[in-house]
Structures are given as C-alpha cells and as structure tokens.
Amino acid sequence: MQKVAEIAQKRAIQLLNQGVVNRVIGWKKGEFGYDETPAVFTTAAGIEDFRYDVFSAPNLSKYLIDESKKEGKILAFLKPCDTYSFNQLIKEHRVNRDNVYIIGIECGGMADINTIRNRGAAGVTDVADNGQTVIAHTLYGDVTFDKNEVLLEKCQACKGKKHVIFDELIVVNPQDDEPKNRFAGVEAIENMTPEERFAFWREQLSKCIRCNACRNVCPACSCLQCVFDNPRSGVASKASPDTFEEQLYHIIRAFHVAGRCTDCGECSRVCPQDIPLHLLNRKFIKDMNAFYGEYKAGEDSETRPPLVNFSKDDAEPSVISDKGGDK
Amino acid sequence: MLKIKKSNLDKLYAAISERQILYVPCNVAGKPNFAVWGEGADVDLVSLKTVKSAKEVFFPQCEDIASFRKEGKNISVKSEHKESGDFVVFGVRACDCKSFDILDSVFLADPVDTFYKTKREHGTVITLACSKPEETCFCSAFGIDNAEPEGDIATYFAGEYLYWSPKTEKGLNLTKTLNSLLQTATDKDNDALEKEQKKIKEITGRLPLYVLDLSYWEADDLLEKFNSEKWKALSESCIGCGACTFVCPTCQCYDVRDFDKGHGVQRYRCWDSCMYKDFTMMAHGTPRPTQMQRFRQRFMHKLVYHPSNHEGVFSCVGCGRCVEKCPMHINIVKVIKTFGGDDK
Amino acid sequence: MTYEMLIPSVGVVTEIRRETPDVKTFRVVGTDGKKPFSHIPGQCAMVSVPGVSEAMFSITSSPTQEEYMEFSIKKCGCLTDWLHSIEVGEQVTVRGPFGNGFPVETALKGKNLTFIAGGIGLAPLRSVINYVRANRNNYGKVTVVYGSRSKDDLVDFDEIRNEWMNERDFEVHLTIDRPQDGWDGHVGFVPAYVKELGLDKRDTVLLCGPPVMIKFTLAALIELGFDKTQVFTTMELRMKCGIGKCGRCNIGDKYVCKDGPVFRCDELDELPGEY
C-alpha cells in the first residue's frame, strides 16, 4: 500500500509539473493516522501531505461534480468502487468528464476506525497497516487486528477490484476480482417477520439525528435543490417532531437513489449513529437484479438503467407485488 | 464522600427513578445516548462519549413551543411551555457539564428562554469522572478537569465502587433520598480514589491534543481572522452536513417551524446548523452563499464571536465529538492548529 | 423578563391597502381592538400565519399612531405570498417589538434629517418620518429622497403626495429608474440623484433599501463629504427567534434582531460583510 502511495504521489507531481492537470484531488493526512481528509492540491510542494492508506475511504467522486466544472483539468484518484460513482455521474450529466484525469488506484479494502474502537481499542493515536493485520497504537497499549475483521462494511461487501473508468491505473499488486456476497445482510432482514422487520427499522431509524451526512456525502444525491431542502415540502432539512415523518426521510431517499445507487457505502460509513443505511439501498439493488436481470449502476456510462427502461421482458407489476409483499 | 458498589448501581437507578425521571447513557441499537432509564435498560457508563451530548436533556432536538387552532377566520394560540417535573441526568462528563454554562450564557441571558430555564431548574446533574480519556479529548485546553468534574453531584469509578460526592444543595437533597443505598467512604477508599484521579491526570497529560495553543484566538482582531486566506483550504472538503453541529454540546442555534397536523398547527423548534445552506436563506438570497462562508461562521462563532460577547469564554469544551464524527475529518482542532498560536 | 417571547398573540387585519403591484400594507390590531404593543421607530415584529411560517417585518406605522400597527409587505416568498392572499377580517399572529430602533430621542433629536430610501426600503423609514412629523418641533429640516423602479412601485404614494409634501420644512424628492408615461418627475437611480441634489453634508442620514442601493448611496454620500458616523441604516436578515438566541441573524459578534436592525454605518465596518 505504501508503495502505491509513493507511486501515486510521484505521478501527481509529474502531471502537475507537465501541466496536464492544474489540481489534484486526493487525501491528506489527519491528526491520528486514521482520519484522512479529502483535499485538493495545487502545487507539487503541497502534495507532500498526500496520503493513501487503509483510511483513504472517502469517495472523491462527489467532489468532482463541482471540481470538474472549474477552470482546468483535475487529477482524481479513484478506488475501484469510486469509479462506479463517477461513471454514474457521467450518465446523469453531473460531471464534465473532459476536465478530469482519472487515475484508478489499487485498493485492498479500507479499515473502519469505529470497528477498531468497538472491538476494544480505546484512545487510538495511530494505526499501522501491516498487510494482513493492522495495529492500533493506543493510549492504553497496542492492539492488533486481522485486517479483514476491521474493514468498512462497504469493503466487506466489495463489488470487485476492477476500475470501470480511468485514464491510467496504479495497481502494484493485482488482486482477486471475485466479488463478495453483498446481499447476506439484506437476506437476513428479508427472513424476518414483518413485525420484526418493522421493529428493527424503527429502532435503527430512531437514532437518526437528521444531520444529513448520508445525503450530502451520497454521489447519487446530486440534485441542485433537494426536496428535503425545499421549504414548501414541509419536511425541509430539519428534524421533524413526528417520528413517522422523520423516518420517511431515509425511505424517500432510498427510493430517490434506487437504480442509481452504486452501493459505494458512504452513507453507512458517515452515519454518526451507525444506522445501516446501505441495507435500504441494497434491498433495491437485489430486487432489481431479480426482476430485471443483473445490473450494476455505474458499471458503464451509457446503458439505460432498468428503472427508466422498458422491455417486453420486464417483470409484471403483479410479480413485483408478490415478491416484494407478504413473504 | 459516599460510595456504592458497582454491582448495586441498578438499585440506585431504580431508587432515583421511583421519584423522578432519570436520564442516563444507554445503548440503543448499538449506540450510547442519553435515554430515560427503565427496567432492563442497557446502561453504558463505560463508553466515554454518548453520540449526542447531554445538552438534549435541557435543549431537546425537537420541542413544541406553541400550538394554533383555526376556526373560520379566528386563530387561537396556546403556549406549549410546561412546568417540568424534577429529573436527574446521570453520567454527564466534565466537558458536557461545562457546556451547560455556555448554554446558560445564551438561553438565560435577558430575555430568558423559559423553555430551557424550566428544565435547568428542575434537573439535577450527576457527573462522572473520565476513567479512560481518549485521543480525541481536549477539554484540558479549556481548563476543564476530567478527573474532578463539576455538577450537583460528582461521581468517580475506582475499583469495585462508584464514589459519590454531592456538591450543591440540589445534590445534597437527592443524596438524602438515597441514603439507604450509599455508604460512607473510608480512608482506604479515599486513597483509592486519589490514586484513580492521579491515573486520569497522568493519561490526560499524555493526550495528543493535551497542548492546544489558543492564544491566536484570544487576540482582538475579528476582521483579520474573518478575512484570513486559510478558511478556503480548511473548508474545502466540508460536505455541509450538520453532524458536527448536532453532536456538539455547545451548538445552540435552532429553527422554528410549523407542522400542520391537519387539525391544528404545532409550532416547534429544532436544532439547526449554520453549515446548512438554507440557514440564512431569504426570499432574495443568502448572505452566505458558499460552504466556505458557512464553515467559517461556525468556527468564528465558537472561537471569536461567542468569546467577544461572553468575557472571552470559547464556545467549545473540547469533548472531541466533532473530531470523531465528521465524515471528512475536519474539525475545530484542525482550525485551531491551522491558525496556530502567538507566532503565526 | 419571564414573558415568553416566542409565543405570539393574535392580530386582526382591519385594513389592506395595495401600494404597488407587489406591496400591500396591512393594518393590524389585537383581538381587543387595540394596538398589539408599543414600539419605537425602526423596531420590528414577527408576523406569522400559523402553518405557513413566521418572519420579521419592520413596523411601518409610527409609534405615535396609537390605534393600530401597520406593516408594508412585499410579495416575495412563502409567507408573503400567503399574506397577500388574505382578506380584511382575517387573523394573523404578531409578537414583538424586536431590535433597537432608530435613536429618535438621542442622536437624531434636534438634527436636520435626510431620509434616503429605495423601493420597499421606505417601510422602516416611514415609521420615523411620521414620528418626526408628529413631533415636528423636536427636529430640524427634513429631506426625503425616495426612488423606485417605476411610478407604480412607489410605496405610500398617496401619503407622500398628500401629507409629506405639504408638511412644514419638508422637502420630498422622488425618482424612478426609467422614464415612464405620465411621470414628469426625476428619472435615474437613487445614488446618482443623491449626488445631483448635493445634500447638506451636516445632515444626519437615514438610509434603507436593497443592499446594492445602500452600497452605492453610501459611496455617493461619502463623496459629498458625509462621514459614516452621520449615516444610519437598517438591516434585514433571516430571523427565527427575535431575541438573539436562534443564531440565524448572527454577523460577527452582533445579532441583528437584538443589537440591530439599526446600525450606524461606521459600526458596520467592524463587522464581517455577510449581510
């Protein structure tokens, strides 16, 4: 991983110096070695702070909506799953492809500091990545974890290691492209009784503080004016005193991104209350796969997504109702 | 100094709950937040930080303020201000306790916010010393002692016991009702407690954010700070969500909204964030159209505007929740460090 | 103060005047038929239609008007759209007064006053102008410069023509942005007109209008030799509580609802330009 970071850093400096790009979007080091922040670098000297490691989780595609509309070309480092988001944004005419130079960057899975904390490492001051293991240096001693056990949910359910759009690649250690089973969590909920399912979501959604982090980080939430920011909607931006209305926020959002969500997992990563929001989106993905055939949003930037396409083979509404209804 | 065995805490909760509502950090769906204690509650006094701070007990995320009914052309108004019963908040950390002073300086300033005041008057605050401070903590920068918290009653874990020290009349009154459960601490106990506090201080001294130079923010040059070029790079990755605001114990901005129930209108206030683009939106536009401006407002408010109106007191208690919760890891510590100290 | 400042009282709309195509003036009394509360010129009130929303409006009637309170409101958003659709006899809610108001009993007393307004910006100044008329002996000469997009957009045109223009020691200058049939008065923007008129630089100025008009008029005044300490203006920001707590109208270390909305222009220089 460190080697990948070094190559990326050098390449960024090269492309800046050659004038191919005038800015670079990547990740910058934080306070504790686990809190990388997305950053735009404009000078070769500034790129010294560039970091790429197991905590470079933030998906940079969303920033490219704005960045690709600025003067000059920007170099963007995109992990495999981030390239799906970028493709989807091209499909929705939200980014200017010509203004972005994409380097697809190798990803061995991103670690989750919350999981590290939840598994007993309090007071983490730095984290070292040793390939198979990660070591959390804490105020109370070192704690070693098997990396696979502390991966972000989105990485445990990785779609695959293939970059679906790029201008060049930095892949030092080609990795097994076998996608993991993404739907085990959805199946577990499908197997609940309706009462259990209702109780599960009521409890999870009751934690929501309506900070809008899930929406603001979501590459599919690219509306210029969100319905939840429209003062006339009656549900604008803020917490509602009615818990029923409040919980609709997430459901409506899931409907809005259905067929466009690339399952980048950022919603669940950023939720301060750890609400498993990806399960809502993934339920839609699973059902669409079942009804309309396998489809991965963002896999390319041209094909018509199933929900806005019509074919004679489409599932009949009654079929959908049977499958999605009582079970 | 009094004490109670850790294994007897459930009895203590039950005894308090018999007379008044008890708020205590509880795990719900895997996350600790202040909740009303009830039989079987998953009390969590080990987790250092609840996701939401204790402020919501006095300043709830949503609170009704008035209700309206309309009959023909006539409107009737009813205040939703209610007298509060006495209640107890247990497990408040030193930083959150300090945040109440900051909220008081806003809500209790003339004209008094009666909704807040009623709850403050009826609430008894039981604090808990921080046995295991974490890397995101920087309360020491604001002169807060995490080993010796303030409050109506201060409590401390050491060994098998929770030690209990009433500090105010409110605290003494509550303690009286719990006499049968609390024992007097012995000299040996006091030694154990002293040792524990020493341990806390030792760890606190080693915290990576223990030394945080705030001198730059003490200088009186509001516009120079406001006009600094540094805000642009600092705010670049801010996605404009309200996570930092809503987990913050001192953020007190709110919105007032109407909710049409169909058979009447409920006017309520709810937490709001200056990070949101609609915060200052008017019919003809907003004076803060960019995220940089909104980001700057939040930190200027905490580090410059609030101190300017409140004898130099910063509107931050160093709880570190924003450090933990920002999706992009931008936070007040980065702002403070970027601007540096005296020499910058 | 223990009075619950967030709880409004009911107001009855007893008269609605259409001032311009998009401005109406609403006369409001309490359910007891009396003025809801007293105020000083330049102070504001929160007016609301429950279920729609609540917003801050300047009280355009003079405190010396003891029967009722008036608000001149431009149709430009959710609440104002709604207000423009109501009829006489309907009820709204009001609470206030909020803010500092103009220093009519201190800094303005005994002075020659120049009022400069653009469009709906006349609303807060009308309160002061009528206060000065009611206490005519306490103030010197009064000059009013008022401009609007067109003749039809001049607010309070009848009152200006029939009352102000006939008031002792009152000089009224009107201007519209573009030439228009049936208008033989001055044509041109307010800042240019101010320079043209060559106002007396010893006057105390009260200035209100759209931000861009304020900016250029202030520059014109300085060119004429005025000092910023002579110029008072009133600000408009989004507000929710009115008592300096909800944080919305915070600029620098000021809360416009409580420390303003009236500021002396030199005070504004010490604030971030986020208004």
Supply the DSSP string of A220-269, one letter for each residue. T---SS-GGG-GGGS--SS--SSHHHHHHHHHHHHHHHTTT-----HHHH
Counted residue by residue, chain B has a size of: 344
Kindly state whether B80 is in contact with chain A, defined as any CB-CB distance less than 8 angstroms. Answer: no
B159 and B282 housed in the same domain: no
B333 and B226 housed in the same domain: yes
**Cβ–Cβ below 8 Å for C240 and B256:** yes
Structure tokens at C267: 């005070």
> How many C-beta atoms lie closer than 10 Å to residue C245's C-beta?
24
**What is the per-residue pLDDT for C157?**
86
**Residues C124, C127, C133, C137: is their CA dihedral positive or negative?**
negative
* 8 Å CB contact between C221 and C202: no
What value does the mean pLDDT take over residues A153-159? Answer: 92
Residues 6+ apart with CB under 8 A from A247: A201, A202, A205, A206, A208
* 8 Å CB contact between A24 and A75: yes
B151 and B249 housed in the same domain: no
Residues 35-64 of C with CB under 8 A from B: 48, 50-54
pLDDT category at C1 given cuts 50, 70, 90 is: very low
Q: Which chains touch B (3 or more CB pairs under 8 A)?
A: A, C
Report pLDDT digits (tens) over B200-228. 999 999 999 998 999 999 988 999 999 99
Q: Give me the helices (H) in B182-221, please.
A: 187-206, 215-218
pLDDT category at B344 given cuts 50, 70, 90 is: very low
**Cβ–Cβ below 8 Å for B66 and C54:** no
3-state SS class at C146 = strand
Kindly state whether B316 is in contact with chain A, defined as any CB-CB distance less than 8 angstroms. Answer: no
CB nearest to C93's CB, from B77, B106, B305: B77
Residues A222/A224/A226/A231 CA torsion (nearest 10 deg): 170
Would you say residue B72 lies in a domain?
A: no
- Rounded to the nearest angstrom, the minimum Cα separation between B153 and chain C is 29
**Cβ–Cβ below 8 Å for A211 and B273:** yes
Domain count, chain B: 2
Residues paired with C116 in a beta bridge: C145, C207
For B212, half-sphere exposure in the C-beta direction (CA atoms, 13 angstrom radius) is: 27
Give the burial class of B181: count Cβ atoms within 10 A of its Cβ; 0-12 exposed, 13-18 middle, 19 or more buried: middle
**Cβ–Cβ below 8 Å for C241 and B109:** no
**Cβ–Cβ below 8 Å for C7 and B79:** yes
Residues 231-270 of B with CB under 8 A from C: 252-258, 260, 265, 267, 269
Q: Can you give the C-alpha Rg of chain A in angstroms? A: 21
* Nearest Cα residue to A274 out of B62, B54, B27, B135: B27
- Phi/psi of residue B204, each to 5°? -55, -40
Give the burial class of B342: count Cβ atoms within 10 A of its Cβ; 0-12 exposed, 13-18 middle, 19 or more buried: exposed
pLDDT category at B196 given cuts 50, 70, 90 is: very high
**What is the per-residue pLDDT for A326?**
45
* 8 Å CB contact between B125 and B152: yes
pLDDT category at A183 given cuts 50, 70, 90 is: very high
DSSP 8-state symbol, B202: H
What value does the mean pLDDT take over residues A1-21? Answer: 94
CATH code given to domain C113-234: 3.40.50.80
For residue C2, pLDDT beyond 80: no
Q: Which residues of C touch A232 (CB under 8 A)?
A: 78
Structure tokens at B112: 């008094």
Q: Give me the helices (H) in chain A, please.
A: 2-17, 61-67, 80-91, 113-118, 153-156, 184-190, 194-206, 213-217, 243-257, 266-270, 278-292, 317-324
Taking all residues of chain A, what is their mean pLDDT, rounded to a whole number?
90
**What is the per-residue pLDDT for A175?**
78
What value does the mean pLDDT take over residues C119-131? Answer: 94
Report pLDDT digits (tens) over C241-275. 999 999 999 999 999 999 989 999 999 999 998 88
* 8 Å CB contact between B331 and B135: no
What value does the mean pLDDT take over residues A8-22? Answer: 96
Closest-CA residue of chain B to A63: B237
B129 and B181 housed in the same domain: yes
For chain A, domain boundaries = 2-110+151-170, 111-150, 184-324
Structure tokens at A7: 């190559």
Q: Which residues of C touch B258 (CB under 8 A)?
A: 48, 50-54
For chain C, domain boundaries = 9-97, 113-234
Q: CA B51 to CA B275: how far, in whole Å?
A: 19
* 8 Å CB contact between A203 and B29: yes
Would you say residue B154 lies in a domain?
A: yes
Q: CA C109 to CA C139: how far, in whole Å?
A: 6
Q: CA B259 to CA A319: how far, in whole Å?
A: 38
What value does the mean pLDDT take over residues B59-70? Answer: 94
CB nearest to B236's CB, from A36, A39, A212: A39
- Rounded to the nearest angstrom, the minimum Cα separation between A232 and chain C is 8
DSSP 8-state symbol, B270: E
* Nearest Cα residue to C57 out of C36, C79, C35: C79
Residues 291-310 of B with CB under 8 A from C: 293, 297, 300-301, 304-305, 308-309
Kindly state whether C252 is in contact with chain B, defined as any CB-CB distance less than 8 angstroms. Answer: yes
* Nearest Cα residue to B156 out of B116, B189, B110: B189
Taking all residues of chain C, what is their mean pLDDT, rounded to a whole number?
93
**Cβ–Cβ below 8 Å for A232 and C53:** no
Report pLDDT digits (tens) over A70-89. 999 999 999 999 999 999 99
Residues paired with C93 in a beta bridge: C10, C48
Taking all residues of chain B, what is their mean pLDDT, rounded to a whole number?
94
| One CATH from 3.20.20.80, 3.30.460.10, 2.40.30.10, 3.30.930.20 for C9-97 | 2.40.30.10
Kindly state whether A66 is in contact with chain B, defined as any CB-CB distance less than 8 angstroms. Answer: no
Q: Which residues of B touch A274 (CB under 8 A)?
A: 29-31
What value does the mean pLDDT take over residues C164-168? Answer: 91
For residue B343, pLDDT beyond 80: no
DSSP 8-state symbol, A192: S
Q: CA B168 to CA A7: how far, in whole Å?
A: 62
Report pLDDT digits (tens) over A205-262. 999 999 999 999 999 999 988 888 877 766 665 776 666 667 788 999 999 999 999 9
* Nearest Cα residue to B334 out of A28, A124, C226: A28
Kindly state whether B25 is in contact with chain A, defined as any CB-CB distance less than 8 angstroms. Answer: no
Give the burial class of B242: count Cβ atoms within 10 A of its Cβ; 0-12 exposed, 13-18 middle, 19 or more buried: buried
Kindly state whether C134 is in contact with chain A, defined as any CB-CB distance less than 8 angstroms. Answer: no
Structure tokens at B23: 């708020």
- Phi/psi of residue A26, each to 5°? -155, -145
Q: Which residues of C touch B222 (CB under 8 A)?
A: 252-253, 270, 272
**Cβ–Cβ below 8 Å for B51 and A272:** yes
What value does the mean pLDDT take over residues A298-322? Answer: 80
Residues paired with C30 in a beta bridge: C11
- Rounded to the nearest angstrom, the minimum Cα separation between A269 and chain B is 8
Closest-CA residue of chain A to C53: A231
Chosen for mutation from C243, C274, C275 (greatest number of chain B CBs closer than 10 Å) is C274
Calculate helix-pair angle for A243-257, A278-292, nearest 10 degrees: 50
Would you say residue B242 lies in a domain?
A: yes
* 8 Å CB contact between A177 and A98: no
- Rounded to the nearest angstrom, the minimum Cα separation between B266 and chain A is 9
| Helix/strand/coil percentages in chain B, nearest 5 | 35, 20, 40
Report pLDDT digits (tens) over B4-57. 999 999 999 999 999 999 999 999 999 999 999 999 999 999 999 999 999 999
Closest-CA residue of chain A to B323: A35
Structure tokens at A30: 């934080």
* 8 Å CB contact between A88 and A114: no
Which structural domain range is residue B163 located in?
Answer: 2-66+80-206
B202 and B219 housed in the same domain: no
* Nearest Cα residue to B153 out of B16, B302, B51, B282: B16
What value does the mean pLDDT take over residues B327-344? Answer: 84
3-state SS class at C40 = coil
DSSP 8-state symbol, B285: B
Q: CA A172 to CA A1: how far, in whole Å?
A: 8
What value does the mean pLDDT take over residues C154-179? Answer: 91
What value does the mean pLDDT take over residues B112-136? Answer: 96
B199 and B285 housed in the same domain: no
Q: Give me the helices (H) in C199-250, please.
A: 211-223
